[in-house]
Structure 1
Amino acid sequence: MPDPMRSYLDFEKPIAELDSKIDELRALAASGSDIGDEVARLEDKSRQSLDELYATLTPWQKTLVARHPQRPHCLDYVNALITEFTPLAGDRKFAEDQALVGGFGRFRGESVCVIGQEKGATTESRLKHNFGMARPEGYRKAVRLMEMADRFGIPVISLVDTAGAYPGIGAEERGQAEAIARSTDACLQLTVPNVALVIGEGGSGGAIAIATANRVLMLEHAIYSVISPEAASSILWRDGTKAQEAATNMKITAQDLLRFGVIDGILKEPSGGAHRDPDAMITTAGNAIALALDELRPLDGKVLRDQRRQKFLAIGRRLG
């Protein structure tokens, strides 16, 4: 049987069957059977099949990969890349929102402010972090942290991974739209470098609220959209089953968005997606963030702010 720790998506069924066969042969080899060559042959075939499959993913398949439960999440990146991390809680107005985590630490020796959406990896942690869907207090916390970072000249790193801002009644009553708008404005007002990395889902205003950055990067199989494919399908066709068609038409992949100038770069994922080699993915992300900060660090605060504003105005002119 395949390793129970592995989780295969529906379109990965051929890979799952190969891996199952490999596991069976490994068990036989462990009992003394001389079948090492056959195991090696099947392993090569599995790797090749995985490479070929992931080289031709459809937008809907990329959506499924972006949502994979074993994909590295915000806190995985923080724990691996940020030393002396000190999380800060609360918006100083209403409450603490654990869907959006933030604090200060050191990235390769430099002080940084880190803000990100955490989906959680277990049932308990998903409930704790509300599946990465922040309420108004989460975005007001982000504003508080960004203003603090700006005051002390500390760069901001945003890790984006959310299906969208939480749409509950309480969140709307407490001013969800206003909180998102103020968080977006806080990004635009920064006079320090800010770099955003979409590590999974970049959903709607919930993402843009912390991703209005000098450099916006995306993982190869991440998605970034104004609405989920399922919601778009329901609105446009009154048919939630057309999500695959919606995903294709919405141009939500990193490759499409780079072509349109919405993002600035794509980070290649390990073969089979970030979840198959989280350590390698996190290392790649760290290198990309470091490079972006190196490019932005020499720029004056006014130049950084003007560059960021012009970047987003240009997107509107191109796509308007």
Structure 2
Amino acid sequence: MRTLLDFERPIAELESRIDEMKRLAAEKNLDVSAATAVLENQLVDLKKETFRNLTRWQRVQVSRHPDRPYTQDYLHRICTDFIEIHGDRQVADDKAIVGGFANIDGHPVMIIGQQKGRNTKERQYRNFGMPNPEGYRKALRLMKMAEKFNCPIITLIDTPGAFPGLEAEERGQGEAIARNLRDMFMLTVPVICIIIGEGASGGALGIAIGDQVLMLENTWYSVISPESCSSILWRSWDYKEQAAEALKLTATDMSSNGLVDGIIPEPLGGAHLDHDRMSEILKGEIINRLIALQALSPEERINQRIEKFSKMGVFVE
């Protein structure tokens, strides 16, 4: 059964009316095509109006929708010949990070992403998409392997944050993320980073240093989640909507502040309604960006990467 967010209910009610009208027409052998066409046009307009005017908190809700495509959903749709690679060769194989070699329309790539789970068992297995230090070391190992074979790197970011447990800190969570940040700047192959859901704090940034950093339309990217920000400032999660507004964490906000390189549109109503169409859009965007980046020399890519991130947060008045 489809999960509905509060602001999606009017859309679902209109869809239900259209389906009921079609069902009755089929039972009584009536032609209601004109009436249903009017309602379907109204439905499209309602979807456009609703998603055009979402608040920042509502965008956060869409990014967390349980039906939204995750990394493995995209892997199955946009890649062929995917060969998953496991382990960081030091501690363990972190199931919150999935990665390996793949082929995207004739382009060999190394694709790495954070993976959440669909049900309770999967979420526990994937640690809710929150990597431990070995997850970031695994990701870096795969990136270095890709560099060895001159293979472009694609990262898919969707995490509520790096795992905050004591054992993660004991094994060097901060150091693992910091090492990724440093080493990703110097990768000689093209790197494309795409936020497909939640982009929280260092957990997201640990695999998000790239030549192109992109966001899907209904995603967020911030140093802290709205709930955590609310709990710090107001000692309560009740102010998460105000926190989301203050953080300016949507794709539009990030693009206007020069923190990401582009926004990838989602199908009308959000990616959770049409995984196949969203995958087609994402695949086309990856290929176009990849071709442009491969036209540059490694030195040009590295210099542009460093320059881009060095400009962030620097303003002259």
TM-score (norm 1): 0.94
Residue identity in the other structure for 2:172: G
Paired residues of 1:102 and 1:145 also in contact (CA < 8 A): yes
Please state whether the residue corresponding to 1:210 is helix, strand or coil: coil
Further displaced range: 39-48 or 142-151? 39-48
Rounded Cα–Cα distance in structure 2 between residues aligned with 1:309 and 1:30: 62
Residue deviations 1:15-43 (CA, integer Å, cap 9, x gap): 12222222332332232252444333322
The aligned length equals 315
Provide the residue aligned with 2:308 in structure 1. 311
Rounded Cα–Cα distance in structure 2 between residues aligned with 1:284 and 1:93: 37
Please state whether the residue corresponding to 2:313 is helix, strand or coil: helix
Please state whether the residue corresponding to 1:317 is helix, strand or coil: coil
Residue identity in the other structure for 1:30: A
In the alignment, structure 1 residue 192 sits paired with structure 2 residue 186: no
Provide the residue aligned with 1:25 in structure 2. 21
Paired residues of 1:147 and 1:186 also in contact (CA < 8 A): no
Provide the residue aligned with 1:246 in structure 2. 243
Provide the residue aligned with 1:175 in structure 2. 172
Please state whether the residue corresponding to 2:227 is helix, strand or coil: helix
**258, 261, 268: which is aligned to 1:261?**
258
Provide the residue aligned with 1:277 in structure 2. 274
Residue identity in the other structure for 2:142: L
Rounded Cα–Cα distance in structure 2 between residues aligned with 1:21 and 1:82: 38
Paired residues of 1:146 and 1:186 also in contact (CA < 8 A): no
Rounded Cα–Cα distance in structure 1 between residues aligned with 2:123 and 2:185: 30
Please state whether the residue corresponding to 2:14 is helix, strand or coil: helix
Further displaced range: 98-107 or 15-24? 15-24
Rounded Cα–Cα distance in structure 2 between residues aligned with 1:133 and 1:33: 54
Rounded Cα–Cα distance in structure 1 between residues aligned with 2:39 and 2:105: 40
Residue identity in the other structure for 2:35: E
Question: Could you say what the CA RMSD is over the residues aligned between the two structures, in angstroms?
Answer: 1.5
Paired residues of 1:157 and 1:195 also in contact (CA < 8 A): yes
Rounded Cα–Cα distance in structure 2 between residues aligned with 1:184 and 1:54: 34
Residue deviations 1:134-177 (CA, integer Å, cap 9, x gap): 11110010010111111221110001111111111221211111
Residue identity in the other structure for 1:197: I
Paired residues of 1:91 and 1:144 also in contact (CA < 8 A): yes
Specify whether residues 21 and 160 from structure 1 end up closer, same or farther in structure 2 by C-alpha distance, changes over 3 A only. Answer: same
Q: Structure 1 residue runs of 4+, over 6 Å off?
A: none
**185, 196, 209: which is aligned to 1:212?**
209
- Same amino acid, percent of matched pairs: 48
Residue deviations 1:234-279 (CA, integer Å, cap 9, x gap): 1112221110011011010111110111000011111111111221
Please state whether the residue corresponding to 2:131 is helix, strand or coil: coil
Please state whether the residue corresponding to 2:28 is helix, strand or coil: coil
In the alignment, structure 1 residue 95 sits paired with structure 2 residue 92: yes
Please state whether the residue corresponding to 2:224 is helix, strand or coil: coil
User: Gaps (5+ residues) in structure 2?
Assistant: none
Provide the residue aligned with 1:82 in structure 2. 79
Residue identity in the other structure for 1:261: G
Please state whether the residue corresponding to 2:192 is helix, strand or coil: strand
Rounded Cα–Cα distance in structure 1 between residues aligned with 2:285 and 2:138: 26
Provide the residue aligned with 1:40 in structure 2. 37
